[in-house]
Every structure is written in C-alpha cells, then in structure tokens.
Amino acid sequence: MLFNYIKIAWKVLLRHPFYTFITLFGITLTLTVLMVLTSFIDHLLGSHYPEYKRDKSLYIMNLTIQDSARSSMNNSPLSYNFIKEHIQKLKTPEKVGFSTFVSFANSYLNGKKIKLNTKFCDANFWEVTDYEFLEGKPFNEQNIANGEHVVVITDAIKKQYFEDETASAVGKSIEIDNEKFRVIGVVKAAPVTRLMTFSDVFFPYNLPKSNYQTAGLQGNFTAIVLAKSKSDFKAIQEEFNASVNRIPLPIALYGQKYDVIEVRAQTYTDTVLHTFMSGGREIYFYIGIVFILLILMGLPAINLVNLNVSRIMERASEIGIRKAFGAPSSALAWQFIIENIFITMIGGSFALILTLIIISIFNDSGLILHADLSINFSVFGVSLLVCLVFGLLSGVVPALRMSKMKVIDALKSS
Amino acid sequence: MIKLSNIEKVYQTSNIETLALNNINIDIKKGEFVSIMGPSGCGKSTLLNIMGLLDEPSNGTIAIDNKPVEKFTDKDLAYLRNQKIGFIFQSFHLINDLSILDNVEIPLLYRTSTNKSRREAAKEALEKVGLSNRMKHFPNQLSGGQKQRVAIARAIVGNPEIILADEPTGNLDSAMGNEILNILLQLNAAGSTIVMVTHDENMAKKTHRLIRLFDGTQVS
Ligand SMILES: Nc1ncnc2c1ncn2[C@@H]1O[C@H](COP(=O)(O)OP(=O)(O)OP(=O)(O)O)[C@@H](O)[C@H]1O
Ligand SMILES: [Mg+2]
C-alpha cells in the first residue's frame, strides 16, 4: 500500500509539471530558509572549531556587582585575581583556561596599517580549546614564567605578513604596537563568531600590556571551565558559587559600596543569551528570541502547510471519487500524509543542495570572518525532522477536514 | 436489498429551500433490474445518491440487507460502498491525473488484492466495455462516450452486488447504448441488482420494473 501511495503521488506530480514546479519551489524555498537558519544557529551555538568541547565546558564571562538597593551596578569581565582565587582553585573541573576578550592592536606592514584582533591567554587556554597548530606549538607555563615575548598567530595573518607561505613562520619576528614578538606557533584561524576564542594573534596573559594585575574582582578576562563530563556541571557550579559566596561583602569601588555579586558559570548558550541581558530580565530576552525564531521559522512553515493543504483540497473531487468507491477516511488520510512527506522530502533534498550552495557562498563571502557554517549531522537531523513534521502536519490537517466532508459535497466541489 | 422508507431530501441554499425528494418509499429486491425515469430536475440523481450511500436524506430511513445504515460508522459505510455497490455517475467523475487503467482499479485499491490481480481485473472490465485499446490514455483524452464506458468499467470491476447507474447511456449513440444495456442485462442475469436512471423508454421496457418521479414525488 505504501508503495502504491508513493506511486500515486509520483504520477500526480508528473501530470502537473508546472504546478509541481511551483509547489516544489515553495517547499524548497521554505526548507532552505529553515536549514540555513538552523545551520546558522548551530554555527553560533554548536560545538565547532576551535571549541569542540563546548558541550563539556562552562563559561564565565561577566561579573556584576550591585548595591543593596540595586540602584548602582557595575558589569565587567573578570580580573586575573578572581580567576586565580575562585576558578583555578576549583577541584571539580578537569581544567580551567582563561583569556581576554579580543582587543585591537595596530601593526605596520610595508608602510600599510593593519588592524589586528589580539587576545591574551594562559597556557591552559590551548588545552580547553582545540586550536589546530599548523606550525610550531602553543606557549607553555615556562614561556609565560620567563615573560617571553612570544605570539601565536593564525594562518590568515601569516599569509599577510610573510611572503613565502611555504616556509615556516616559527621563530620569525613580528612587530605589533611597536613591540617585537617571536612567532611560536601558527594556528588555523577560527570564525569571528567564536566570541570566547577568536583572535588573530594570541599573547601570553602576563605581558605588561594585558594589565592583568588590576586589583579587585573585575578585569578583562573570561574563563572556560572544562568539565570531566557534562554531568559534573552542577557540582562545578555549586563549588564555584560557594567560593564566590566566601568573598567578604560589601565591596568598595570608586567610593561606592556594593553588597551583591553576580557571576555565573554557564553553558555557552546560556552565557550568550545572558550577555545581552542584565540580571533577572533574561526571560524577556528568551521570549524575544523565541518570538523572532517563531516568526522566522513559523511563517515559512505556515506557508508550507498552507501550500500542501491547498494542494490537497484542490483535489476534493478525487477524495469524493475515492470515498464513493469505498476508501475509508483513514486510507485517504494516509495517502495524503505519505504524499506530503514524499513531496516534502523531494523539496528537502533540493533544499539541502541549495543550502549547501548558500552556506558555501556565505562562508567564502567573508561577511563573517572565517565562517564555517556547515550541514552537520544535527543540522541535517533537524532539517529532516522539520520536513517530516511539516509533511505530517500538512497531511493531517486536510485529512481531518476531508473526513468531515460528505462524499457528495466532495464530488460536487469539482 | 435496498429499502427506502419515507425519504425526504431538502436542499437549503441561502434563502431558497428545494424539496428534491418527497416521501419516497422504494424496496429493491435482490436480483431486480429497476429503472427510474422522470423529467430533468425531478430528483433522480438525488435518489440514486442516497441509495448509494453518497448522500444522506433529510428525513426517512435506508436499510441495506435489512440493516438500517443510520448507525453505521464512516468505516462501515466505506466497506459497504466498496464491497456492495458500484456507482456510475451521470457526470463520470474520473480522476484526471490517473490513467484509464488506474481509474478503473480504484475500487480494488481498498480491498485486499495484489497489484497483478488488480491489473487483470481492470483490463477485463475495460475489455467488456470495448476500451482495452485506451488503457494508457488519460480521461481528458477521451470522448464523452468513452469516459462513460470507463465509468461503467470502474463500477463493475469489483463485481458488486448492486450497480447504481445514473444515465449510463446518456452520452452514447444508440448502438453503443444498446451494448451497454446488454452488459448491464448480462450482469443482472449473473445475479447483480441494478438500479438505472434513464430517459429512454425502450431501455426502461427491458428492465423488470419502472419507477417514475415527478417533482420529487414517486408517481408510479
Ligand atoms: N447541491 C444542491 N443544492 C441545491 N439544490 C440542488 C442540489 N443538487 C440538486 N439540487 C436540486 O434538486 C433537484 C433535483 O436534482 P437532481 O440532480 O436529483 O435532478 P435529476 O432528476 O437528476 O435531473 P437530471 O435529469 O437533469 O439529471 C433539482 O431541482 C436541483 O436543482
Ligand atoms: Mg441527474
């Protein structure tokens, strides 16, 4: 029977090339939008280079202090001292790495000014992340302890700086902000959207420029806490919170007293969502995100269901005929559901191809530096699920509608 | 076999009420060949649709094999339409997207049957109506008379006990019309119960019984 339904669907499609084209075009477009969107979200939030361990990591990005009346607030990344006292001393994590957010530095190449993204990080940063070293190696505790002027650069920067691309850049010197650094390693560049790890050049955190020895809790560092496994998240968070709770209050800063400290070790997704929000109101942000996603995904989805429903309702007379010759409503419902899934799957395959083309164009366009949008297993899975759900949904709705229709009314509606 | 009691059918459109059938009482016996005649618009198709369980009367009861159909579920009705009844529509009602052969196969699709047996049965039915050379065609490639014959083939393909034919010869020349009548007579001789709407007195004469309708009322 299944084969028969597919055969009928196939015949119907072939009989109306133009109509089929329009329908498939609509479905393909809709699913492409959904797939590109899914791919984009996955690009932003999924575990990708150089953060393959993202789903096993907690991120600590911000520390907020407030007075008891909550009228005055100060929000900033962490100080090196805070990391040393409250994060590196944690027992539960596997490893803790830290770095600054990206900042900028100028460099001159053949008289031309180049703006570089810079980052200061510790040796563990290279272990909690998965940067691929094409040449050389990361700086280690020893390099840091010695205060060496070393730098890790990306392959993209190497290309800009050194004429001979085939020769190793390791050991060569590079001048940034009027200071000379020795290249110790070359990594494959990461997309700019990896907020916590992206940079063009990476310095040891203790170079004078990083101002790492600022007093207080706040500074310009963020930390990545790698757990032994996801199930340790809770324990890590508890240990971390307990440590933070031991900080004596109130804190004096610029003549102001603060009694509340807010700092969280969160998954990457929560961290990102949190960053756009200040304490307590994130729920609105979630609602906003969900709302935007619903519109972005919902409109094409509704369009898809509509397209399929009208395609079926246009065949009311066929429904009437089949019923007149003994088709139970359930058989018709199955016929249309399978037909819909079939056509949605065809549209889905086209959409997959189209999506691959679009994201490869997007990746090459440089709109997002070093973008690596991809169709991985989960994106594909989500897309497939979306196809199935909408195929099903757009089959069930008309199936329910037509089961209520009297045979004679269906017949006469032609 | 089919018993209609006090059947009334009212069509309600915006503010006009049409009484299409009024107090109809008909009892069709097993093996009978009954014809229905009457002027255009007198309710013949409406009556046949009700007999074929395609439409519901506004009032009155229908019993098939002495079982009242009011209590039947959608599934039961589908089963009855599929196993017992073969309907020939006045306006053919073929599925334009399907080939002639696929159209004729439809009643068998909803029975347990193999692809092959369905094909065979459909071919056989098309042969009976003289259309075996048009199997791969599509409905809109056929003349009105040819479409009518496809509709007949589809109605007889499943060997139903009851054949309800709404002007099955209305679009055919007299030679073809007689051929179709002969097919129906043969099916009747083989045991089928047939109800046929016709405008042709000569054809009606060859059947067992004639019911005349006028303005929704049974006049004989
Ligand atoms: N769906 C409908 N809505 C409203 N009125 C209808 C509907 N179907 C039929 N009628 C009316 O019911 C009456 C009977 O129609 P029916 O089709 O049964 O006539 P008929 O005897 O088959 O005519 P013909 O010989 O022309 O086929 C007509 O007056 C018609 O206008
Ligand atoms: Mg009629």
Provide the ipTM.
0.94
Distances (CA, A) of A82 to A30, A126, A281, B155: 48, 20, 26, 86
Q: Which of B8, B10, B14, B45 to mutate to test the pocket of ligand 1 (most atoms within 8 A of CB)?
A: B45
Higher pLDDT among residues B210 and A395, named by residue: B210
Cα B89 to ligand 2 centroid, rounded to whole Å: 9
Res B204: pLDDT: 94
What's the N-to-C CA distance of chain A in angstroms?
26
The residue contributing the CA closest to ligand 1 atom 11 is B20
Among the ranges given (A16-30, A106-120, B54-68, B82-96), the one the predictor scored with the smallest mean pLDDT: A16-30
Q: Please say if the pLDDT value at position B146 is more than 60.
A: yes
Q: Is A325 on the interface with B (CB under 8 A)?
A: yes
B46 CA closest ligand 1 atom index:
18
Cα A312 to ligand 1 centroid, rounded to whole Å: 27
Residue with tokens 């049409």, as numbered in its chain? B18
Whether residue B110 and residue A11 make contact (CB cut-off 8 A), yes or no, is no
Whether residue A323 and residue B78 make contact (CB cut-off 8 A), yes or no, is yes
The residue contributing the CA closest to ligand 1 atom 2 is B11
Report, in this order, helix, strand and coil percent for chain A, each rounded to 5: 50, 20, 30
Q: Is A411 on the interface with B (CB under 8 A)?
A: yes
Name the H helices within A148-252: 155-161, 233-245
Residue B61 structure tokens: 């009861």
B9 CA closest ligand 1 atom index:
12
Res B3: pLDDT: 96
**Cα B164 to Cα B48: distance, rounded to the nearest angstrom:** 7
Burial B28-37 (b: 16+ CB within 10 A, else e): beeebbbbbb
A contacts of B118 (beta carbons < 8 Å): none
Res A282: pLDDT: 58
B contacts of A334 (beta carbons < 8 Å): none
The residue contributing the CA closest to ligand 1 atom 26 is B40
Measuring from each residue's beta carbon to the nearest atom of ligand 1, which residues come in under 6 Å?
A 412; B 11, 13, 18, 20, 38, 40-46, 90
Cα A332 to ligand 1 centroid, rounded to whole Å: 28
Fold of B30-59+70-218: Rossmann fold (3.40.50)
Beta strands in A101-167 (DSSP E): 103-109, 112-121, 133-136, 150-154
In this complex, the residue of A16, A327, A408 whose CB is nearest that of residue B78 is: A327
Long-range contacts of A354-357 (CB under 8 A, 24+ apart): A354/A28, A354/A32, A355/A32, A355/A35, A355/A36, A355/A39, A355/A383
Cα B41 to ligand 1 centroid, rounded to whole Å: 5
Residue with tokens 């001292």, as numbered in its chain? A81
* Residue B113 binned pLDDT confidence (cut-offs 50, 70, 90): confident
Residue A216 structure tokens: 């207080």
A412 CA closest ligand 1 atom index:
1
Q: Considering the entire predicted model, what is its pTM?
A: 0.72
In this complex, the residue of B55, B82, B99 whose CB is nearest that of residue A325 is: B82
Q: Is A12 on the interface with B (CB under 8 A)?
A: yes
Res A120: pLDDT: 96
In this complex, the residue of A323, A326, A408 whose CB is nearest that of residue B79 is: A326
Going by C-beta distance under 8 Å and a sequence separation of 6 or more, which residues neighbour residue A150?
A: A139, A143, A181, A182, A183, A184, A203, A204
Alpha-carbon B69 to chain mean position: 18
- Torsion from C-alpha of A361, A362, A365, A369, nearest 10 degrees: -140
Length of chain B: 220
B13 CA closest ligand 1 atom index:
4
**Cα A389 to Cα A63: distance, rounded to the nearest angstrom:** 42
The residue contributing the CA closest to ligand 1 atom 7 is B11
Res A41: pLDDT: 84
In chain B, where are the structural domains located? 30-59+70-218
Cα B45 to ligand 2 centroid, rounded to whole Å: 4
Cα B64 to ligand 1 centroid, rounded to whole Å: 24
In this complex, the residue of B49, B97, B107 whose CB is nearest that of residue A325 is: B107
Burial, A208: exposed, middle or buried (Cβ in 10 Å; 0-12, 13-18, 19+)?
A: exposed
Res A333: pLDDT: 81
**For chain A, which ranges sit under pLDDT 50?**
none
A contacts of B97 (beta carbons < 8 Å): 11-12, 15-16, 318
Res A407: pLDDT: 87
Cα B197 to ligand 1 centroid, rounded to whole Å: 13
Res A30: pLDDT: 77
Instruction: Count residue pairs from A and B with Cβ separation < 8 A.
Output: 74
Report residues near ion ligand 2: CB below 5 Å.
B 45, 90
Res A72: pLDDT: 82
Whether residue B94 and residue A321 make contact (CB cut-off 8 A), yes or no, is yes
**Cα B29 to Cα B193: distance, rounded to the nearest angstrom:** 8
Q: Which of B17, B24, B36, B42 to mutate to test the pocket of ligand 1 (most atoms within 8 A of CB)?
A: B42
**Cα A368 to Cα A14: distance, rounded to the nearest angstrom:** 42
Q: Which of B44, B51, B171 to mutate to test the pocket of ligand 1 (most atoms within 8 A of CB)?
A: B44
A contacts of B104 (beta carbons < 8 Å): none
